[in-house]
């Protein structure tokens, strides 16, 4: 068998594994149903120990973790160095992040400081959906993306949009660990990663699409947008099938607020606007 054929077969196998994990978590997640309870998270140490594509994100979180929580007025450039989960441009947007499973820094810190058994009990036995996402992040920190994929898929089926974005990292890490490193597999892993981010964008987080575009701009051979949308549709269809089997996938028509304001902020940063009036925005650090 030719190398390209073997690579293609391996890629199809990985796709099958990912879809299988989604289906398995339908049963797994349904047995752990309950009312989501928020207790949370900084993710600094966690993200520093993840794979290469998240290391810059980890540094951004560490760099800005000294910012006090609450309302502040910051430059567009400064705001864009903060993890999108930890910043909102209005109380309504902060509420939207809470409702869709995006943990605050304090929530992340609280979850990640728990003993693993206590976190598993919250996530798997008591049905704390934020704890499911936090447990997936813990598995990523420990270099176990397959375990992370299972838990994060369960969190997605119970309504967490944040888990979709973490699943992007888990699947890419899993591909890096299991597939031979060659151009075909690298492109496929990047397609998976961007497809998951696009799924999050399609489901309401417009900041995820910004991450897709930034990632593509950095690559000499960017993944075709049709490929990204194809992966996103496949992932979305699989998640919705899981939800139809008894779990509760929610808030899919709910768009992250302040899309226009974020666009102005992005443009101000891109243009290196100097005017304080045009380049500073009131934000809520979560």
Q: In the chain, what are the domain boundaries?
A: 3-285
Q: How confident is the model at residue 43 (pLDDT cuts 50, 70, 90)?
A: very low
Question: Is the separation of the CB atoms in 37 and 130 below 8 Å?
Answer: yes
Query: Which residues in 109-148 are b (16+ Cβ under 10 Å) and which e?
Result: bbbbebeeeebbebbbeebbbbbbbbbbbbbbbeebbbbb
Q: How confident is the model at residue 66 (pLDDT cuts 50, 70, 90)?
A: low
Cα–Cα distance, 215 to 209 (Å, whole number): 10
Compute the average pLDDT of residues 159-174: 89
Q: At which residue do the structure tokens 């003993």 appear?
A: 115
pLDDT of residue 239: 66
Say yes or no to pLDDT of 1 above 90.
no
**Does residue 191 or residue 224 have the better pLDDT?**
191
Q: How confident is the model at residue 89 (pLDDT cuts 50, 70, 90)?
A: very high
Cα–Cα distance, 10 to 248 (Å, whole number): 32
Tokens found for residue 157: 């089926």
Per residue in 123-160, pLDDT (tens digit) is 988 989 999 999 999 999 999 999 999 899 889 888 88
Cα–Cα distance, 189 to 174 (Å, whole number): 9
Best-predicted range by mean pLDDT among 58-72, 103-117, 242-256, 270-284?
A: 103-117
Compute the average pLDDT of residues 235-253: 55
- Quick one: DSSP state of residue 125? I
pLDDT of residue 65: 52
- pTM, two decimals, is 0.70
Tokens found for residue 104: 């605050």
């Amino acid at each position: 068998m030719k190398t390209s054929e073997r690579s293609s077969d391996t890629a199809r196998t990985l796709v099958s594994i990912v879809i299988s994990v989604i289906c398995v978590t339908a049963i797994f997640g349904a047995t752990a149903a309950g009312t989501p309870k928020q207790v949370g998270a900084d993710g600094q140490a966690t993200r520093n120990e993840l794979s290469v594509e998240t290391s810059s994100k980890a540094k951004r979180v560490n760099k800005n973790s000294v910012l006090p929580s609450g309302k502040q007025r910051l430059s567009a450039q400064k705001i864009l160095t903060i993890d999108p989960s930890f910043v909102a441009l209005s109380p309504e947007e902060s509420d939207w992040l809470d409702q869709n499973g995006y943990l605050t820094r304090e929530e992340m810190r609280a979850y990640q400081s728990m003993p693993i058994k206590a976190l598993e009990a919250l996530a798997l036995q008591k049905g704390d959906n934020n704890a499911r996402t936090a447990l997936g992040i813990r598995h990523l920190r420990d270099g176990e993306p397959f375990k992370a994929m299972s838990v994060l898929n369960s969190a997605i089926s119970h309504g967490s949009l944040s888990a979709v974005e973490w699943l992007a990292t888990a699947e890419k890490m899993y591909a890096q660990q299991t597939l031979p490193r060659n151009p075909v597999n690298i492109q496929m892993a990047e397609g998976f990663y961007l497809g998951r981010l696009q799924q999050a964008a399609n489901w309401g987080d417009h900041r995820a699409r910004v991450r897709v575009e930034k990632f593509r701009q950095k690559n000499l051979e960017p993944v075709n947008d049709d490929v990204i949308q194809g992966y996103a549709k496949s992932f979305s269809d699989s998640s919705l099938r899981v939800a139809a089997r008894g779990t509760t996938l929610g808030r899919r028509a709910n768009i992250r607020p302040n899309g226009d304001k974020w666009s102005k902020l992005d443009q101000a940063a891109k243009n290196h606007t100097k005017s304080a009036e045009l380049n500073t925005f009131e934000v809520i650090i979560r």
